[in-house]
Homo-oligomer: A and B are copies of this chain.
Amino acid sequence: MTDLSPVYAYVDEHADRMVADLQRLIRQPSISSANLGVRECAELLVEMMGDVGITARVIETDGLPVVYGEINSDRPEAPTLLIYTHYDVQPADPESDWESPPFEARRVGDRIIGRGATDAKGNLMAHLKAVEALRATTGLPINVKFIFDGEEESGSPSLPAFVERHRDLLAADAALSFDGGFDAGDVPRVSLGTSGLLFVQMRAHGGSKDLHSARARLVPNPAWKLVWALASIKGPDGRVRIEGFYDAVRPPTPLERSLLEQAGWDDEAQKRDLGVDEFLGGVSGVDALEQLLFTPTCNIAGFASGYVGEGNKTLLPATAAVNVDFRLVVDQDPADIFQRLRKHLDDHGFADVELHDLGSIEPSRVPADSPFARVVVEAARRVYGREPSLRPSESASGRQAVWLAGKLGIPGAGTGIGPPDWRGHAANEFITVRHYLAGIKYAATIWSLFGEG
């Protein structure tokens, strides 16, 4: 591989300015849930990308804008890498919980404290500085395309339509996310998948208004209807009874299983954190982690009907609603599961239960031994001098690089550069200068290794 020591030296030499630029980005609020400062932040980014030679622009979506940029290598055969991260941040309230104002980006020792310091402005800025360092030294080894999401903290609702609309623009050889950070023990993490999601609401109706509960002898109760419908969908054994629900589910490969075994899962720490004595099905150890990452579920996220509260209201409710979310795994298709659920309801006597699709995200998983995954892992080894934690999937759902790669039919992976316990979504989020500067080198190293194929 090209000797990257000039790149690393450039980063170290220009550390103060690189930190100052990150502080400038953090100081521009960009809270997507409140649409606060998002557009201003997008415009600031276009300016900062231009400063390092990236051709950038704001592209409108159905929601908040995407910042898109590209820069090409001088090398004619260079592959193209699509980098995904986001410039929006979580709300900072209550601000009183912060030791310094959330958008001040105050530096305290090695820490830069601020909302978005790691998630994902530190991650994002590492790319811009990698471009600068490479161009100033060894040259850019690959073509890079950037897609900076403005709605990640709100679930990236506009991304699917954006990707459909800009398929040609996004054409690349691989996709990589930079978001989040290190595991406990300062272990870098590489993620190769996310869970899918199908979120639905089921609604049932009884009489035309809430009635005296004595009338329950004659008038159907919508809460009972949902109880029976739900009980038909999943039994106390935890198995989902929708026909074909598990058909597409793939078990972990031997390599994925071995990765789980290396993951350092700690039953007792997890149980303490979750507040339970035992995991569902009585699983423990690596089996528990496999259950968390490789099995789909069907969860009641909310059930609302009638009245539960002060005072004894014995009423017959007119309506009942239940929110159910399915966490899906590859290769389950949310649209297919929705259809199967509708058919299940129809076939089991619940044709009159309304079913509303509240949103979905496709699951994604790439093979742990894919060449691109090996590139990212190798880069982590070289920069951090240790073996990264390779996660075959995440339990949660999201539309980041692995999802994007699935959409575009290319390899994908996700990683991040924030320090352990970087307090994402909480007060006093921070990044350390050390992790930030190492992150710039990490990005440059991934690109170089990728450029060499």
Binding site for B on A (CB under 8 A): 155, 195, 197, 199, 201, 206-209, 211-221, 223-224, 227-228, 230-231, 234-236, 270, 274-276, 279-280, 283, 288, 291-292, 295, 297, 299-309, 312-318, 320-323, 325, 327, 349, 358-359, 395-397
Contacts and interface: CB of A to CB of B under 8 A. Distances in A.
Given A217-B291, A227-B231, A303-B305, 15 more contacts: A207-B274, A209-B275, A213-B327, A216-B297, A216-B327, A218-B288, A218-B291, A219-B274, A236-B349, A300-B305, A301-B306, A303-B308, A304-B308, A312-B358, A312-B359
Please indicate which of the listed interface residues A209, A234, A301, A397 has the most CB atoms of chain B within 10 Å of its own CB.
A301
Given A217-B291, A228-B231, A207 B276 contact: yes
A19 B305 CA distance: 46
B312 A155 contact: yes
B321 A301 contact: no
Contacts of A306: 300-303, 323
B218 A274 contact: yes
A185 to B, nearest CB: 22
Protomer copies: 2
**Dominant secondary structure at the A interface:** mixed
A165 B51 CA distance: 89
B317 A302 contact: yes
Given A275-B209, A327-B213, A349-B236, A218 B300 contact: no
A318 B211 CA distance: 30
Contact of A234 (B215, B224, B317): B224
Please indicate which of the listed interface residues A155, A208, A318 has the most CB atoms of chain B within 10 Å of its own CB.
A208
Contacts of A270: 218
Contacts of A295: 217
Contacts of A215: 274, 292, 395
A316 to B, nearest CB: 6
Contacts of A230: 224, 227, 231
B316 A301 contact: yes
Nearest to A155: B312
A345 to B, nearest CB: 13
A276 B227 contact: no
Please indicate which of the listed interface residues A231, A358, A396 has the most CB atoms of chain B within 10 Å of its own CB.
A231
Nearest to A203: B308
Please indicate which of the listed interface residues A302, A314, A321 has the most CB atoms of chain B within 10 Å of its own CB.
A314
Nearest to A235: B228
B299 A216 contact: yes
